[in-house]
Chain A
Amino acid sequence: MSLLLQNALVWHILLGLGGICFFVAVLVGLTRTNKNQKFLKISSLLGLLSFVGSWIIGGYYYVVYYGSVVKPIIKGGAYPWAHNILMESKEHIFLFLPFLGAIVFLAIWLGEGRFNKPVGALSLLIVIFGIAITFMGMAVSGAVR
């Protein structure tokens, strides 16, 4: 794997984790009695940017390297389900995660505290999906033997 692809993989993971952390921050911010709108706005913005960054870099890694090199190894190895089930699920969840992030971002920036409950529910969904696809990514990566 080239240095560029190694960096792409590292940043895809770090930005994805960063996105989850920022949406956790949104959730924590929403539980406060006196909600700090500035904190919520910045956290949702950084969360969205992290997911978009992870999306673009992960997409590049997938198209350039995963599909042609990693996928055949996994499918021919002892854990073909890692691709057939986990990677397929991960791809689809990952596709709409930035859109969910964008909805939270817009609701916080334009709603000025009017949509706290749905924003909280959506942020929780983002965190749950984010953790799930992180675990799926690990299982897929571990299947390359």
Chain B
Amino acid sequence: MNWHTFLIIAHIIGISLGVGGVTISDLNFFKILKRGKISEDTLGLLKTLSFAIWIGLIILVLSGFGFLILLRLTRPELGILYNPKLWAKLTITAIVLFNGLIMHWKVFPLLESSVGKPLNSPEFSKKAWIAFTTGAISFISWYSALILGAWRTDLSYFTIFGVYLVLVAGAIIVMNIIGRYLIKRLEKI
């Protein structure tokens, strides 16, 4: 197996862990809201998924830079380092990283403090927007990274990033509306 094949496999594993982890996490989070409470087991599952996403991110970053080094050393004429799509992917990856840190800093403590309690409590309702917002950013960012990795395009950095920001804004609004609706629904039950 040559370096190129090894890096492709690693990159695919990284993106799979990230996209898979974030999809299952978000679906589970809405399931928790529908049920109205969070158990120790579900919180444990979310933490395991989060760990898998972090591992995916590390593999993705290391294999991605592996690609850049390989292309820079073997085919410098490609000028890959000034590719707008590459910079868009790097920016999105940095957003994934900082968004993940905010999730660990704000969302997990909120979920931990809500174990076994009804989720329509004022304490949870007040801070739930952070979970919806970071969840939306995470979801759109990972899928954007996946699409940008597979899509051969000559779009400029600002076009790619502009579309990404619109999608993120849309997802934040939709996630907050659905989340609020599910919390309100709990109050009626």
Chain A positions near chain B (C-beta within 8 angstroms): 1, 6, 9-10, 13-14, 17, 21, 24, 27-28, 31-33, 124, 127, 131, 135, 138-139, 141-142, 144-145
Q: A32 to chain B: which residues have CB within 8 Å?
A: 104, 108
Q: Quick one: which of A17, A24, A145 contacts B65, CB cutoff 8 A?
A: A17
Given the known interface contacts A6-B73, A141-B72, the answer about A13 and B54 at a Cβ–Cβ threshold of 8 Å is no
Q: State how many angstroms separate the Cβ of A46 from the closest Cβ of chain B.
A: 13
Q: Across the interface, do B62 and A14 meet the contact criterion of CB distance under 8 Å? A: yes
Q: Across the interface, do A9 and B69 meet the contact criterion of CB distance under 8 Å? A: yes
In Å, the complex CA distance between A32 and B58 comes to: 20
Interface size classification for chain B: 20 to 34
> B122 in the interface, Cβ–Cβ < 8 Å?
no
Q: Quick one: which of A14, A21, A124, A141 contacts B81, CB cutoff 8 A?
A: A141
Q: A33 to chain B: which residues have CB within 8 Å?
A: 109, 112
Q: List 20 A-B contacts (CB under 8 A).
A: A9-B69, A14-B62, A14-B65, A17-B61, A17-B62, A21-B58, A24-B101, A28-B100, A28-B104, A31-B104, A31-B105, A31-B109, A32-B108, A33-B109, A131-B94, A135-B90, A141-B72, A142-B79, A142-B82, A144-B76
In Å, the complex CA distance between A9 and B69 comes to: 9
